[in-house]
Amino acid sequence: MLELLGSVFTNKYSEGYPGRRYYGGQEFTDQIENLARQRACALFRAEHANVQPLSGSPMNQAVYLGLLQPGDTILAMDLSHGGHLTHGAPVSHMGRLFNFARYKTQPSNGGAIDFDELRAMAGHVRPKLVLCGYSSYPRDLDYASFKSIADEVGALTMADVSHYGGLIAGNALRNPLDAGFDVMTTTSHKTLRGPRGGIVLCRREFAGKIDASVFPGLQGGPHMNVVAGTAVTLKKASTPDFHAYARLVMRNAKVLAEALMERGMTLITGGTDNHMMVVDTVASVGLDGGAAENILDAVGITANKQIIPDDPRPPLKPSGIRLGTPAATTRGMGEPEMRLIAEFIAESLRSKGDAAVVKRLRSNSVEMCLRFPRSGDRAALIGGRPAFRSSRHSAGREGSRGKDRNGN
Ligand SMILES: *Cc1c(COP(=O)(O)O)cnc(C)c1O
């Protein structure tokens, strides 16, 4: 995949779609794009796929602009409850162009979506589109309930599975298209582990509108080097190895969540059913998410500050952090490492960043990471030392070069 990103397709213009391009010399780009589209449809059980969106945000914009009129109402998940910026955050252009009404989760119900409230809202605001999908919600979604509410008010249905498209591909989470959704969008670079891009999947009747909206509506020439990498990614995502990976990501998340809670950490919704979790650091240790992020950085753990549902605190000093297991799982980490990571996190945060504690835990976390090198990244330095000085890979330093742990 990395080879394709740096291939000659980086330089080739191919505005249009296979068989209908505005440039010559498309013999191979047409094959690549058709392959990516066919693989995307097969993998996600979709009738049509557009693989040209340059990333997740333009992908969602293309759907709104292609299927709706400016000013139309979209029902979407509130940002602090797990939704994405492109789901109508007031700071986003889409938030100004469309009329977003935002629904929430219900803390009293384990953080589930309150479908009674959603049904009442839908009856009141009469949306043209019911949108679901999340960036920071640690549970799976009941797509059939979204679909029946949308049907009651004659709205289209769209699921943005950007964060967990790989887990759907790996049959580890529900597929909204199986529940009859009209549109599903996903990035190619999060749990799908591909190059950075976006994929729109939809029912055949929307194919023309979606394609015209992506190009020429919103974008110019597609990044064919990325589309080629996406085609490889989609093939890998259909293998038993990838299905096993998806299950392991979720198993690791469960283990990490439980180990954190055993160490007194408070998790939003009390756990996880997917690949991520949100820790309420204020409730757990009296630290805001920004401070927690900095302490974890010092320990060698990369996490991000995260707003929690109806967070009273500002976005740069929110109440929590968000953790996920896909990257660590890709490196080959399993249950013992999840327990260690929980210990590093809980101990360092509880110490409020005490220098001696951080120094000790950093050395432990670097030691652990060196046992699970990021293959394909031979020059990377972890803790000031080459990542590849690990006995696990010592025999294969050159021999394993062509493939990293992604197989990419
Ligand atoms: C990441 C994400 C996006 C946007 O993707 P970018 O590639 O960062 O533009 C859109 N929707 C959801 C739910 C996401 O998690």
- If one counts every other C-beta atom within 10 angstroms of the C-beta of residue 97, the result is 17
In whole angstroms, how large is the CA radius of gyration of the chain?
Answer: 22
Q: Give, for ligand 1, the residue of 57, 64, 92, 141 to mutate: max count of ligand atoms closer than 8 Å to Cβ.
A: 57
Lowest mean pLDDT, pick from 98-102, 220-224, 385-389: 385-389
pTM of the full predicted structure? 0.91
With a 6 Å cutoff on the Cβ, whether 191 touches ligand 1 is no
Kindly tell me the burial class for residue 286, based on how many C-beta atoms sit within 10 Å of its own C-beta (0-12, 13-18, 19 or more).
exposed
Average pLDDT over residues 386-404: 40
Dist CA 347 CA 339 (whole Å): 12
**Are 185 and 199 in contact, with CB atoms under 8 Å apart?**
yes
Interstrand relation of 99-103 and 73-77 (parallel, antiparallel or unpaired): parallel
Atom 4, ligand 1: which residue's CA is nearest?
56
DSSP string, 143-174: HHHHHHHHHHTT-EEEEE-TTTHHHHHTTSS-
**Residue 190 alpha carbon, nearest atom of ligand 1:** 1
- To which H or E segment does residue 347 belong? helix 335-350
Average pLDDT over residues 94-108: 93
User: Is pLDDT above 60 for 381?
Assistant: no
pLDDT band at 222 (very low <50, low <70, confident <90, very high): very high
User: Is pLDDT above 90 for 270?
Assistant: yes
With a 6 Å cutoff on the Cβ, whether 56 touches ligand 1 is yes
Atom 7, ligand 1: which residue's CA is nearest?
56
pLDDT: which is higher, 60 or 111:
60
For residue 18, give Cα distances in angstroms to 30, 158, 194, 386: 5, 26, 22, 44
User: Is pLDDT above 70 for 302?
Assistant: yes
**Are 275 and 326 in contact, with CB atoms under 8 Å apart?**
yes
User: Is pLDDT above 60 for 386?
Assistant: no
Query: According to the model, what pLDDT value does residue 248 have?
Result: 98
Dist CA 176 CA 75 (whole Å): 16
Dist CA 66 CA 64 (whole Å): 6
pLDDT band at 18 (very low <50, low <70, confident <90, very high): very high
**Are 25 and 12 in contact, with CB atoms under 8 Å apart?**
yes
Query: According to the model, what pLDDT value does residue 376 have?
Result: 58
pLDDT band at 109 (very low <50, low <70, confident <90, very high): confident
Domains plus CATH for the chain? 2-237 (3.40.640.10), 248-402 (3.90.1150.10)
Average pLDDT over residues 355-372: 96
Residues 6+ apart with CB under 8 A from 299: 344, 345, 348, 358, 361, 362, 365
Average pLDDT over residues 392-399: 39
- If one counts every other C-beta atom within 10 angstroms of the C-beta of residue 78, the result is 18
Query: According to the model, what pLDDT value does residue 353 have?
Result: 96
For residue 183, give Cα distances in angstroms to 82, 154, 249, 253, 376: 19, 15, 26, 28, 35
Average pLDDT over residues 298-312: 96
pLDDT band at 348 (very low <50, low <70, confident <90, very high): very high
Percent pLDDT > 90 in the chain is 89
Nearest partner of 33 among 305, 178, 224, judged by Cα: 224
Interstrand relation of 48-50 and 112-113 (parallel, antiparallel or unpaired): unpaired
- If one counts every other C-beta atom within 10 angstroms of the C-beta of residue 301, the result is 20
Q: Give, for ligand 1, the residue of 163, 184, 218 to mutate: max count of ligand atoms closer than 8 Å to Cβ.
A: 163
